[in-house]
Structure 1
Amino acid sequence: MVAALFFLVGAKVTASAATQPVLDLSEWQGTITASQAKLLKGEVKGVILRVQYGSNYADKTFVHNVKVLKTAGVKYGVYSFSQYVSASDAKQEAKDFYNRAKAYAPQFYVNDAETNTVTSGTYAAATKAWATEMQSLTGKKVYLYSYRSFYTTNIKTKSGYDGFWLAAYQSSTPSGADYQLWQYSDSLYNTALKQSTDASKFIGTNNWFGDTIDKSKYPNGGHVLGEVVRVKVGTKFYGAKTKIATALTNIDLRVRAIKTIYTGTSNQVLTIYNGKTVIGQIRAQDVRTAYYSNPDIKKVKVIKSNGIWTYKNGKAQNHISKGTVLNVSGYTTWNGYRRFVHAGHGTNITSNKANIKVVK
């Protein structure tokens, strides 16, 4: 579970990021600051923190990080990288793990079983003994982490565990239906931590953290790659105190990457470019409330309660009722504002997101 480190500006993030990741963190990622923890809250479903590497080595950052994350409201579980040499040693490791973590009330405990260190008896028996001991100590869920090949060769059973966390670094969903959490990458760049980490995602409706995000609290989003937007004056870059230059709020900027993050009132963070130059990341709530230039938009639906009007040469033409779907064929500019061209009619309509929404 040791992640390689690299820095990436304007990384391409596509719609596959719609599922918030679960990060597993240890001293390899360093200490987490309070500001980083606040950002993480909107970026991840939760984190799983390493507590120890065997009984004799306590993770150097666990106590600090768990306190900071708890204060920020980030959900967390804990794991132990197992080094037991026998069934009795496995029980002792479980006790030490529990004693080091219990005061911080993790939501679950994980046995990271990926190295066969057993010298007496079998690894399978020791791994089961670990689970039996942990189940006797806590009423929280107890999970097993491993690779498929290692599990098949050395463990062979999930007896005593409440679920399975599978490590498989591949683009397609691994076969089998015996796992709930899939570690799919060891190098996913995280905006809050400014480094790459291991990343996992739950399969189906599984969620070991036991809660779901109220998406109604994050209504701002819906942007697509390649869309042209304008940014509100005074906007601060996501995760920073720096404001975007006022001159850049008066020109068209293009969306080159999108990441699903629940922050402020936004469900997206956008990486924006001026031509070929990356400007930075902003939240969807900081985009002006109009659709500007997206070639994929062919239809819009009227959502304003009292409807909208079509216009020609600045004069109102026809009233369109709420719920009506209109075909559009591009954009025009009137009085400094972008407006949709009403396909085949020679008129234009508002592009304000408060009045219309894009439909397929």
Structure 2
Amino acid sequence: MKTNSLFKKIFAGSLALVSALTIGTTAFAAKTKIADVSQYQGNINWSKASKDLRMTIIRVKHGNPGDRDYRVDPKRNVNANGAHKYGVPFGQYDFTEFNSSKDAVNDARQFYALSNKNAKFYALDNEKRVSGAKGSEQSYVNAWYSTMRKLTNKPLVYYSYQSYVSLHKINASKFNGSWIANYSKKPNVPTDLWQYSSTGSLSGISGHVDLSRTVNNSKVTSWYTNTPKDTYFTSVSNGQKLRVTRNVNKYKTANLTGKTGSLKYNTIVTAKSIARSTGGTYRIQLSDGSYMTANKSYVQVQ
């Protein structure tokens, strides 16, 4: 009788363990979809979407100031915060309409300034050429890439349609990877991530959504798992010119207390010296005596 009771307990425990493992495996397996989202997906239920998503790529803006159809995506922060809250790794993308290399530089700076600090990587969405643009599309792509590489050491990904890449003979080998759309079959141009559908479905979204699948799984995974840590300036020269790359505040102290003003992205400031907070974090003292972050994600050498 005792032996039978013990057997029943062991058997019941085994079933519980198998059940738990099965549920865990099923839950993990469910997180297989890769979707890109924007304002056109409306109000996303990120609690539900997170059950399906392996990762997501979120739009920040469409075009550049001066473009006829320029707009900042009104859902960029809502979507970034929702994905982050529910543990969905995300990158962000910049839909561009270049008309010159200078335009590409300004576009990259604004895109970076509007991006979310929790983004794991950044993608250039290069699928539309402005009428009247005279330079080569490759030169515009290179200008965007070079500007972004100076702003961040996070992965940079190139996105376009197979037909657009072929038409303009785009070489994206400098990027950390490529993401190509072709809805009929696998792209015949180099790609690590294949956007295969514009009519996909996803929990938490009513209506269609773009879906992608990996071609080079290890490379795509590296975009959101090998995110570099923030680095800080540890020295500056008195009088050195620096460019603010994201909107930041100025403070009375190196502990960043007593706000004295704000600095808009692209503002050029003059450094005086390096200081440290009571916790040891590096700060930049400006020529007016105020202090700002020394995080290189927010400021760069001019």
TM-score category by the smaller chain? 0.5 to 0.7
**Contact residue 112 and residue 144 of structure 1 kept, 8 A:** yes
Q: Give 1 or 2: higher helix fraction.
A: 2
1:150 aligns with 2:164: yes
TM-score using structure 1 length = 0.50
**Percent identity of equivalent pairs:** 28
Letter in 2 for 1:112: D
Q: Secondary structure at the match of 2:144?
A: helix
1:105 aligns with 2:114: no
1:30 aligns with 2:42: yes
Check 1:95–1:167 CA distance in 2 against 1; reply closer, same or farther (3 A cut). same
Letter in 2 for 1:128: N
The residue aligned with 1:354 is none
Q: Secondary structure at the match of 2:156?
A: strand
Q: Secondary structure at the match of 2:72?
A: coil
Structure 1 residue runs of 5 or longer lacking an equivalent are: 1-16, 212-360
Q: In structure 2, how many angstroms separate the alpha carbons of the residues matched to 1:58 and 1:26?
A: 10
Residue by residue over 1:332-351, the C-alpha shift from the partner in whole angstroms, topping out at 9 and shown as x without a partner, is xxxxxxxxxxxxxxxxxxxx
Q: Secondary structure at the match of 2:149?
A: helix
Residue by residue over 1:116-162, the C-alpha shift from the partner in whole angstroms, topping out at 9 and shown as x without a partner, is 12624221111111111111110101111011121111242114311
Q: In structure 1, how many angstroms separate the alpha carbons of the residues matched to 2:104 and 2:203?
A: 37
Residue by residue over 1:57-99, the C-alpha shift from the partner in whole angstroms, topping out at 9 and shown as x without a partner, is 2101111221122111111100010012101110110000000
Greater alpha carbon shift after TM alignment, 55-64 vs 90-99 = 55-64
**Contact residue 87 and residue 125 of structure 1 kept, 8 A:** yes
Equivalent of 1:202 in 214, 225, 235:
214
1:53 aligns with 2:62: yes
**Contact residue 168 and residue 184 of structure 1 kept, 8 A:** yes
If you compute each CA radius of gyration, which structure gives the higher value, 1 or 2?
1
The residue aligned with 2:203 is 191
TM-score using structure 2 length = 0.59
**Contact residue 157 and residue 176 of structure 2 kept, 8 A:** yes
**Contact residue 181 and residue 187 of structure 2 kept, 8 A:** no
Q: In structure 2, how many angstroms separate the alpha carbons of the residues matched to 1:160 and 1:90?
A: 16
Q: In structure 1, how many angstroms separate the alpha carbons of the residues matched to 2:76 and 2:107?
A: 17
The residue aligned with 1:161 is 175
Check 1:19–1:147 CA distance in 2 against 1; reply closer, same or farther (3 A cut). farther
Q: Secondary structure at the match of 2:114?
A: helix
Structure 2 residue runs of 5 or longer lacking an equivalent are: 1-28, 66-70, 226-302
Residue by residue over 1:228-284, the C-alpha shift from the partner in whole angstroms, topping out at 9 and shown as x without a partner, is xxxxxxxxxxxxxxxxxxxxxxxxxxxxxxxxxxxxxxxxxxxxxxxxxxxxxxxxx
Q: Secondary structure at the match of 1:98?
A: helix
Q: In structure 2, how many angstroms separate the alpha carbons of the residues matched to 1:148 and 1:31?
A: 30
**Contact residue 179 and residue 192 of structure 2 kept, 8 A:** yes
1:180 aligns with 2:192: yes
1:91 aligns with 2:105: yes
- 1:204 to partner: Cα distance: 4.0
